[in-house]
Structure 1
Amino acid sequence: MIKPDGSRGLALLLLCTAVFLDSMDLSLMGVALPAIGRDLSLSEGTLQWLVSGYAVTYGGFLLLGGRLADLLGRRRVFLVSLAVFAAASLVGGLLSEGWLLVVTRVVKGLAAALTAPAALSLITTTFTEGSQRNRALGLYALAGATGYSGGLIASGLLTEVSWRLVFFLPVPIALLVLIVAPTALPEGGRSDREGRKFDAVGAVAITAGVLSLVYALTESSLPAGAAAAVLLAGFVQIERRQRFPLVPLRVFRSRTVSGANLAALAWACATIGWQFAAVLYLQQVRGYDALATGLGIVPMGAAIMVTAKFTGRLIDRWGPGRTAAVGMVVQAAGILLFLRAGPDADYAGVLLPALVVHGVGNGLSFPSLNIAAVGALPDDQQGLASGLITSAVQIGAGIGVAVLASLMAAAGPGIDGYRIAFLAAGCFSLVGAALAHFGLRVRTRGTEAPAPA
């Protein structure tokens, strides 16, 4: 554990910067895709995989990444994976072959899947449980939430100059973190006892299962969905028989672990699904270009940042469950305000209030869910806790986008499809509020069901 407050603050800044990069890369490609396609004459399928390749590997390898952080050392996994992330970003900006660009995006997704849980578990083992850790996790969650919105804004600005800058943007930031991190981050040595075996069979099953599930949701593939069901069912059976399982199933007996992850899944269905529909609405219905779309989302990011400054205090007073529930109700209100949106909706009078309200709810709910999820497990399982909550968000994002895209397609062209999508996203958020309210009432580890030693 880092002793000096200044060193702790620097470590937190570096870890938040890394998760900001991971989240930003999820959205950076979205606005730049048309320019990439025109310049390199790429098919729509190849362009789709510039987004999906990152999302599928990021979501699929998170649990494995979290467990590797516990076994191999959190700082080591963090530094190596961030270096790979930076290298893949640099190479991607230099390439002009579509399939090679996709490969770099897949590599970056894998690197992000190792970086994110290592960073989160470094925070939870560096900061003392209570208000200190709550504030740190609130800033971490803020970095992740604003990274996605920041990616949309940066993509619009950079694409106006050159789409290659979208690939290059993470490189200098990641290199700066890599230069400072070795001396600023705690050693984060192996948390598990020497000699503990690694559950290789379980790792293959869960990684392949989640990869198949995210692919099925992203590509609407029924065979991939069936494969995911078989692999995930097989994983459960494997874990029941393993002496040293990758994911001890007993952790899900904890109402807090189960409740936080289910609520996070619903949160992602709502907010990521809504952002997908809202960006399409702004561009296809309102006629915004890439730059205007990015700038139009700035107020939501600002609302998230302002709200997150006070979220830690509310969690100390109310607990993460009540704070998350209130936040998701407010978030739902912001999403449902978009039902007023039409082909000629005024930005200041209709869209801006919805964006701000959504941002306030987002700033309350996301940090609370992260704090609840990691606070329910001991220090030697923080990589697992981090991998679970991040996986829940990624799977929820896939579900939300797939469901809302299907609803819009079924409704046909026009504003009605978007309104149905906004209504569905609001309902997802209300379901998450209920899950947080009823599932996150345990506030200390003392009442949690322990995982196997």
Structure 2
Amino acid sequence: MNVETHTKREQMWVLGLAAVGSFMVVLDMLVVATALSAIHADLGASLQDLEWTVNAYSLSFAVLLMTAAALGDRFGRRRIFAAGLALFGLASAACALSPDVGTLIAARTVQGVGAAMIMPVALGLLNGAFPPERRGWAIGIYGSITALGVLLGPLLGGVVTQGLGWQWIFWLNVPIAAVAIPLVFTRVKEAFGPPARFDLPGLALVTLSAFGLTWGLVRGDRAGWSSAEILVAFVGGAVLLAGFAIWERRAPAPMLPLRLFRSRAFSAGNLAVFFLNASMTGAIFFMAQFQHEVAGHDSLVAGLALLPWGVAPSLLAPLAGSLADRIGERPLVAAGLALQTAGMAWISLAASTDVAYIQLALPMVLSGAGAALAIPASTKAVTSRVAPADIGKASGTFSTMRQLGGAFGVAVMAAVFASSGDYANPQAFSDGFVAAFGAAAILSVVGTLAGFALPSRAGQGVRAASTLDDMRSKTSTVRR
């Protein structure tokens, strides 16, 4: 076997295992949504308990993404990735075996920690394995498999819950993790970030800041946006974020060099994916409920109704990744978010208590196609322009922005929904739904503007900002 063939085989293993890990994480974010009613009946969970089965996972996931990326750079990305898979699998088994809702919420929290260890490190391994000229293609394949989690999550949740029981939505993760872990150790080379001091103060500041901001977003609708709890969470998170920025400017070995944000590609790409995920996550959240509250469907049919959103990303993401390699990221991100804007606005205008399903399915396909174009390109913009020494940091930042964007989108759309409607009857829900999707369209517009701010040529980016790290990257350690 020649060197080139061996290298490509190693790259395919990295791509496949990274995509499997990401698929598990995304699937588990959505699969629970259609099982909540069964969990309520079986465990006697209250509405607030059910919210925390979702929020506990989202909170620990969002808070620890940057921490996991830093640990991967320090102790080895392969090692942290495998540990994340193991923790995710064990926590999934604990979820399935939970005798009460308190245990389930605790297990979901640990599951979110495992997810945080998987996502940014998987992206770091992927970007490290492929050269810049092939990263767009690889990210497209990775994105299409990840999109299957979005496509299958609600559907699989409905099928498994009705056919086997809600516990099996968690048992499914265990054999996948068990098979993947030995393959990670035998097929993936170990990779480290540059040798440097561990930025413990920076790690503490960014973790606590993310906790405050995410807590405010996930609790705002329940506790009240003007309540002391939420104001303290937001103000505290903002102050800690400012402290993090000040510290990183003077830290001898910053975990997130602020010079990266001087790059239009890095800053605009992160901003674009933040608003893209805000719009899409909030839209999925409310569309699933629309199928229950207005259309009157059960969990299985509600899951099937969301399929149009996942079809286009599964089919188009590999093509979008290859196009990003050829024409650059700006046309794809801007056009993709413009399509997403059109889809969200279309749904807002069409929705009513007696709307035909096709009138919702077509704009779902349109907005899904937009996401399929924009996500691989924005990923490439953020992670492919940095020096090799910064890949882990860039991957952690990108993953954090995506997750915070999702929490932000649900919070914003929930607030808009509450101002115009409620759950009293189908008409009241439809009124709030229309307003919420108008907000989703506005979020997509902001993302479109961020897409236009990206550099126009693939060769531009952080080159000037990271020249020093290009030199230092030669000392980066890569071991088997």
TM range (shorter): over 0.9
One-letter amino acid of the counterpart of residue 197, structure 2: K
Partner of 1:245: 254
Mapped pair 1:449 → 2:438: no
Cα displacement (A) at 1:29 = 1.5
Superposed CA RMSD in Å reads 1.6
Contact 1:239 1:248 in 2 (8 A): yes
Instruction: Give the Cα separation in 2 of the matches to 1:412 and 1:300.
Output: 24
Structure-2 residue corresponding to 1:421: 436
Query: Matches of residues 127-146 of structure 1 in structure 2 within 5 Å?
Result: 127-130=130-133, 132-146=134-148
Aligned-partner Cα distance in 2 for 1:235–1:133: 31
Give per-residue Cα distances to partners, 1:26-71, cap 9 Å, x unaligned.
1121111111111111222222111001101111111111111111
Residue 288 of structure 1, aligned match among 293, 297, 301: 297
Mapping 1:222-237, distance limit 5 Å: 222-237=231-246
Residue 111 (structure 2) aligned to one of 108, 113, 137: 108
Query: Letter of the aligned partner of 1:256 in structure 2?
Result: A
Partners of 2:166 and 2:436 in 1: CA distance? 30
- Within 5 Å, give how 1:197-216 maps onto structure 2: 197-216=197-216
| AA of the residue aligned to 1:426 | A
1:446 Cα offset (Å): 6.4
How far off its partner does 1:421 sit?
0.9
Which residue of 426, 434, 452 corresponds with 1:437? Answer: 452
Partner residue in 1 for 2:7: 4
TM-score norm. by structure 1 comes to 0.95
In 2, are the aligned partners of 1:264 and 1:369 still within 8 Å (CA)? yes
**In the alignment, is the contact (CA less than 8 A) between 1:141 and 1:370 conserved in 2?**
no
The verdict on how the C-alpha distance between 1:239 and 1:313 changes in structure 2, with shifts beyond 3 A counting, is closer
Matches of residues 37-116 of structure 1 in structure 2 within 5 Å?
37-116=40-119
Partner of 1:219: 219
Distance 1:143 1:122 in 2: 16
Q: CA deviation at 1:384?
A: 0.7
Q: Does 1:366 align with 2:375?
A: yes
Identity level (%): 32
* Preserved CA contact (<8 Å) 2:144 2:318: no
Distance 1:41 1:451, change over 3 A: farther
Measure, in 1, the Cα distance between the counterparts of 2:464 and 2:151. Answer: 35
Rounded Cα–Cα distance in structure 1 between residues aligned with 2:197 and 2:250: 14
Q: Distance in 1 between matches of 2:152 and 2:354?
A: 26
Shift of 1:155: 0.8
Asked whether the equivalents of residues 158 and 165 of structure 1 are also in contact (C-alpha less than 8 Å), the reply is: yes
Alignment of 1:264-413 (within 5 A): 264-338=273-347, 339-348=349-358, 350-413=359-422
- Residues in 1 aligned to 2:448 and 2:412: alpha-carbon distance in whole angstroms: 19
Contact 1:70 1:381 in 2 (8 A): no
Which range moved further: 384-393 or 6-15?
6-15
Letter of the 1:315 counterpart: A
User: Residue 161 of structure 2 aligns with which residue?
Assistant: 159
CA distance in 2, matches of 1:170, 1:368: 29
The letter for the 2-side match of 1:15 is A
Assess, with a 3 A threshold, how the Cα gap between structure 1 residues 309 and 246 changes in structure 2: closer, same or farther. closer
CA distance in 1, matches of 2:467, 2:92: 38
Given residue 11 of structure 1, which amino acid in structure 2 is its aligned partner?
A: V
Q: What is the aligned counterpart of 2:149 among 104, 124, 147?
A: 147
Gaps of 5+ in 1: none
Measure, in 2, the Cα distance between the counterparts of 1:258 and 1:446: 10
In 2, Cα distance between equivalents of 1:448 and 1:115:
31
With structure 2 as the length reference, what TM-score do the two structures score?
Answer: 0.90
In the alignment, which residue of structure 2 is the partner of 1:181?
Answer: 184
Partner AA of 1:27 in structure 2: L
Please say if residues 139 and 318 of structure 2, whose CA atoms lie closer than 8 Å, have aligned partners that are also in contact: no
Separation of aligned partners in 1, 2:199 and 2:193: 16
The letter of the residue matching 1:197 is: R
Is the contact between residue 256 and residue 442 of structure 1 (CA under 8 Å) also seen in structure 2? no
Give the Cα separation in 2 of the matches to 1:5 and 1:356. Answer: 34
SS of 2:395's partner is helix
Separation in 2 of the partners of 1:262 and 1:409?
Answer: 26
Aligned partners of 2:275, 2:176: CA distance in 1, in Å?
31
Q: Secondary structure at the match of 1:157?
A: helix
Give the drift of 1:442.
Answer: 5.0
Please tell me whether the aligned partners of residues 135 and 325 of structure 2 are also in contact (alpha carbons under 8 angstroms): no
Q: Give the SS at the match of 2:132.
A: coil
- Deviations 1:366-389, CA, capped at 9 Å, x for gaps: 111111110121112111111111
Instruction: Give the superposition deviation at 1:452.
Output: 6.2
The superposition leaves residues 407-433 of structure 1 with CA deviations (integer Å, 9 ceiling, x where unpaired) of 111112322211111111111112111
Give how far 1:244 is off.
Answer: 0.7
The aligned amino acid for 2:146 is: G
CA deviations 1:196-232 (Å, max 9, x no partner) are: 2101111011001101111110001222112211211
Q: Secondary structure at the match of 1:4?
A: helix
Residue 438 of structure 1: CA displacement? 1.6
Give the drift of 1:448. 4.2
**Can you list the C-alpha shifts for 1:382-411, whole angstroms capped at 9, x where unaligned?**
111111111111111111100100111111
Gaps of 5+ in 2: 221-229, 423-427, 470-480
Contact 2:137 2:319 (8 Å CA) reproduced: no
The 1:313–1:239 alpha-carbon spacing in structure 2 relative to 1, beyond 3 Å, is closer
